[in-house]
Amino acid sequence: MTRLVTKIKKYLEDNSKTWKKEQDNIDVRNESDGNGDYIHTWSVSGLDKPTDSQLASYETAGNTEESNNKVRATRKAAYGDIGEQLDEIYKDIDAWKARIKKIKDDNPKE
């Protein structure tokens, strides 16, 4: 199940807004009452608060985004330090290419 924040980000993007710019105008809360996250306040200029139906339409795209974010984090950790990669490239670019290809093959994006 896609997180509410991810669905909101997708909704903003589809309406030419960005989470980074608008996050201070959106308050997502969870009252720990078993009902999950909800939008407490919304004040995005020129864009109405999304309905539950609109947010639900982002479930698939949100799942893909969250899955790909996990893959990106796994790849980043496996790639290692950029300085070490540059040294590896300098010493043996073919070995570096093979290592990076294996990391990507082992961690495909959707």
User: What residue ranges in the chain does DSSP mark as E strands?
Assistant: 26-30, 37-42
94 DSSP β-pair partners: none
Check pLDDT > 90 for residue 24. Answer: no
Provide the pLDDT for residue 26: 96
pTM of the predicted structure, to 2 decimals: 0.77
* Dist. CA 78–CA 87, nearest whole Å: 16
Q: What is the mean pLDDT of the chain?
A: 95
pLDDT digits (tens, 9 = 90+) for 61-95: 999 999 999 999 999 999 999 999 999 999 999 99
Write down the domain spans for the chain. 4-79
Cα angle value 68/74/75 (rounded, 5°): 90
Phi, psi for 108 (deg, rounded to 5): -75, 150
